[in-house]
Amino acid sequence: MSFPPNSQDKKIFSISGCYPVVRNCLLRRGWVEKTTLRTGMAKRLFNVDPNFLWIPRADAMNYDSLRADQMINHFKNTKCFTTKAGLCTLMDSMHWFSDVDPYSFVPRCYRLRQNDERQEFIDDFIQTAARGILKWVSDSNIPEYPFDKPRLGQKRWIARHSCLEWLAERTTHKQPVKSDIILKSIEMCQVYLDKLEHKNIDQKETKPKPPEFWKEFLRNYSRVIYDGTTIENAAHYAARCHSLLHTLEAVCPQIDIEGERNIWIIKPGAKSQGRGIICKNNLEDIISLLDKDPVIPDDDFCVVQKYIEAPLLIHGTKFDVRQWFLVTDWNPLTIWFYKKCYLRFSSKPFSLKNLSRPIHLCNNAVQKHCKNSPNRHPDLPEENMWHDYQFKDYLQMTGALDAWDDIILPGMKEIIINTMKSAQNKVEHRKNAFHLYGADFMFGENYQPWLIEINASPALSKSTSVTSELSPQVQEDVLRVVLDRKEYSKCDVGDFELLYQQPKIEIPNVSKEKLLVKGVAIQKPRLLEKRYTPRFIKHDCQSSSKPNDSTAYKEKKIKADIPSDLKKIDIFPRKIVLDDIKGVTKPVKAKELLLPKLPILEYKQPKPDRKPRDHSKERANLYPIPPPQHHKVKDTVRKLDYEKEKPKPCTFCKRQICTCSKPTIKKVFIPTEFPSDLWKRRK
């Protein structure tokens, strides 16, 4: 059977799913598609492995079965940043790879399944409520404490103050909350500030408050924020609250986006397209979600994240940005940034009092099932999508054209680089692989970008007129980077630009011409000769007589003067040269070891003191009365290992076991079993 010529050039591809743009782009480049059909060309390629694979999900392929030359459009094990739970965990380890505070561009989040993070979330919820009280006091008393610059913008500042006055007129019948809630909030914020600035190291730990204390605090907080109840003498604390909030801004980067209503968004750990996402502002409702699905694994379990209550709005409507970027290698890390992006709008005007999904979720999978509100601004698109150039025109109209080039675009690029560098060591990378990701960003009122999530399989369908134009372009440009650039490095890569590439580690070229292997045979280790402590005896050099009493006294004194660590020395010289000088002794000098000056001494090997053996004790210890049965007695009968000859009778008493007092037998063989005749005699 003859194969097509492109199979020899390794230009066979396989696509799983509906990707007509990728298929047409590969066919125009001369590639041949391998399908599951057994007709025509597919029948001839049935047993041929494709060289290029395009799959919708990473878990749809067994990566162990791939060859090294096969290219695929997904990396393995990217859940560390493409899932909500993985991104939450990644933020905790970002300080090892970057000096940037991760919570300066990602809203703080917690995994409710983890007990330690659950308690941290409860503490954070109470701290956020305390800061909400300070903001309420500071903003509701603006006429008595004027600001140099309104915090919420001039129009929103006037509208907010008017609403608060209108609300105060209609809530006078309600009993106001005592001013203790302000003092408690100031105390909690001051303790939190001292903790961030490490001022509480030398302070004594205070006794924790009982749960009833926090329940009462949150109950009064809800009355003030949600029910519109006023606080007694709130104007007297406005300046103090404003000063403390200004100090907290330096250490809390999210204080401008968290608002006053303490809203948190609960997301499933590993789902997409807005499935299962809800917003809550009650602590008990959030904690109750723990007991609903206890069998769900940790990766799929819900993650609670602080909701951005003060986002950048366009005509009073919430929006987010979908930004594509491409990773072609993880070692060295190589990131390509797509120059075009698009905006997704909500179908309802923004409101914090209504926590419904159509207001707070901008996913097209959610908004396509909702009808646009008739109260929306007429300049908003019917399909709820904008091009990036339309957003730039809006910024120019509002007088913030430089915000795109100075804040928004550099901020998104820096966030992508820091996130990918943190995930580099956790992703299982391989050559001949690439991955197109979709990052979702929101913006604060100061145009600062905030990363919401990163999608591993961004939607490339033609759902609207905006995506119908951008999706085919990004797919075509991806193939230009991963295929055309291999053949020609200076080819056109479309709207992709190289965002980041780590420096390559150059491997030195080692010449093998002078390669030489040297070695010696391994020798069997020998036991060193054991050396004993020499016995030092001082004597006269000319006389060979024994030392007198005075000499023995001096010898004993010399022994006492010798240090204990020098009494036993392994490298003590075997021979000591003596100088025969009358009445004069000369100290010994060792060349290899610095020793203290010692008199001329002579060492002798000590002889063990031998005493006559007491046979009566040996007979009592070695020959006890045997048991009645004939067997080996290990505990009472001892056999001498160094004597293997047969026992000889005593020369005096002519018995096998000597009963006389003559010390003639030095070594006696003790049998393990008593002979029968011996047993009879002893009996």
**pLDDT for 197 beyond 50:** yes
**pLDDT for 50 beyond 50:** yes
User: Residue 513: what pLDDT?
Assistant: 62
**pLDDT for 297 beyond 60:** no
Q: What is the pLDDT of residues 209-267, one digit of tens each?
A: 888 888 999 999 999 999 888 898 888 899 999 999 999 988 899 998 988 999 999 98
Q: What is the pLDDT of residues 493-503, one digit of tens each?
A: 999 999 999 88
User: Residue 196: what pLDDT?
Assistant: 81
Question: Which stretch of 203-207, 498-502, 539-543 has the lowest confidence by average pLDDT?
Answer: 539-543
Distance, in Å, from the CA atom of 299 to the CA atom of 83, rounded to the nearest integer, reads 8
Q: Is the peptide bond before 606 cis (omega within 30 degrees of 0)?
A: no
Can you tell me the mean pLDDT for 429-439?
92
**pLDDT for 471 beyond 90:** yes
Sheet-wide strand order for 109-111: 109-111, 303-306, 264-267, 278-280
Can you tell me the mean pLDDT for 88-92?
88
User: Residue 641: what pLDDT?
Assistant: 46
User: Residue 666: what pLDDT?
Assistant: 46
Query: How would DSSP label each residue in 7-59?
Result: HHTT-EEEE-S--HHHHHHHHHTT-EE--S--STHHHHTTTS--SEEE-S-GG
**pLDDT for 649 beyond 80:** no
User: Residue 639: what pLDDT?
Assistant: 46
**pLDDT for 543 beyond 50:** no
Q: What is the pLDDT of residues 13-29, one digit of tens each?
A: 889 888 899 999 999 99
For the chain, give the percent of residues with pLDDT over 90. 34
pLDDT band at residue 665 under the 50/70/90 scheme? very low
User: Residue 601: what pLDDT?
Assistant: 53
pLDDT band at residue 668 under the 50/70/90 scheme? very low
Q: Which residue is listed with tokens 């030095």?
A: 666
Distance, in Å, from the CA atom of 400 to the CA atom of 397, rounded to the nearest integer, reads 8
**pLDDT for 391 beyond 80:** yes
Can you tell me the mean pLDDT for 312-328?
95
Question: Which stretch of 43-47, 99-103, 553-557 has the lowest confidence by average pLDDT?
Answer: 553-557
Q: Pairing relation of β-strands 278-280 and 333-345?
A: unpaired
Residue 152, classified by CB atoms within 10 Å of its CB into exposed (0-12), middle (13-18) or buried (19+), is middle
Can you tell me the mean pLDDT for 419-445?
92
Residue 61 near residue 14, CB atoms below 8 Å: no
Highest averaged pLDDT of the listed ranges 362-371, 581-590, 598-607, 636-645: 362-371
User: Residue 438: what pLDDT?
Assistant: 95
Q: Measure CA of the first residue to CA of the last residue in the chain; give whole Å.
A: 103
Residues with Cβ within 8 Å of residue 246, at least 6 apart in sequence? none
Per-residue CA distances from 537 to 162, 452, 553, 561, 579 (Å): 111, 90, 11, 14, 16
Distance, in Å, from the CA atom of 77 to the CA atom of 79, rounded to the nearest integer, reads 6
**pLDDT for 384 beyond 50:** yes
Residue ranges in 316-428 assigned as alpha helix (H)? 357-360, 364-367, 388-397, 402-403, 409-423
Q: What is the pLDDT of residues 261-285, one digit of tens each?
A: 999 999 876 666 767 788 999 999 8
User: Residue 188: what pLDDT?
Assistant: 92
Can you tell me the mean pLDDT for 45-49?
73
For the chain, give the percent of residues with pLDDT over 70. 64
pLDDT band at residue 184 under the 50/70/90 scheme? very high
pLDDT band at residue 205 under the 50/70/90 scheme? confident
Q: What is the pLDDT of residues 570-596, one digit of tens each?
A: 444 444 444 444 444 445 444 444 555
pLDDT band at residue 367 under the 50/70/90 scheme? confident
User: Which two tokens mark 364?
Assistant: 């097209």
pLDDT band at residue 148 under the 50/70/90 scheme? very low
Give the predicted TM-score (pTM) of the model: 0.69
**pLDDT for 449 beyond 90:** yes
Highest averaged pLDDT of the listed ranges 76-90, 188-202, 579-593: 76-90
Select the more confidently predicted residue: 412 or 365.
Answer: 412
User: Which two tokens mark 406?
Assistant: 């100075």
Q: What is the pLDDT of residues 58-69, one digit of tens each?
A: 877 788 888 888
Select the more confidently predicted residue: 669 or 60.
Answer: 60
**pLDDT for 3 beyond 60:** no
User: Residue 580: what pLDDT?
Assistant: 44
User: Residue 322: what pLDDT?
Assistant: 96
Distance, in Å, from the CA atom of 218 to the CA atom of 128, rounded to the nearest integer, reads 11
pLDDT band at residue 393 under the 50/70/90 scheme? very high
Average pLDDT, the chain: 77
Q: What is the pLDDT of residues 403-430, one digit of tens each?
A: 999 999 999 999 999 999 999 988 988 8
**pLDDT for 328 beyond 70:** yes
Distance, in Å, from the CA atom of 336 to the CA atom of 328, rounded to the nearest integer, reads 8
Q: Which domains does the chain have, with CATH numbers?
A: 5-54 (no CATH), 80-102+315-501 (3.30.470.20), 111-248 (no CATH), 624-683 (no CATH)
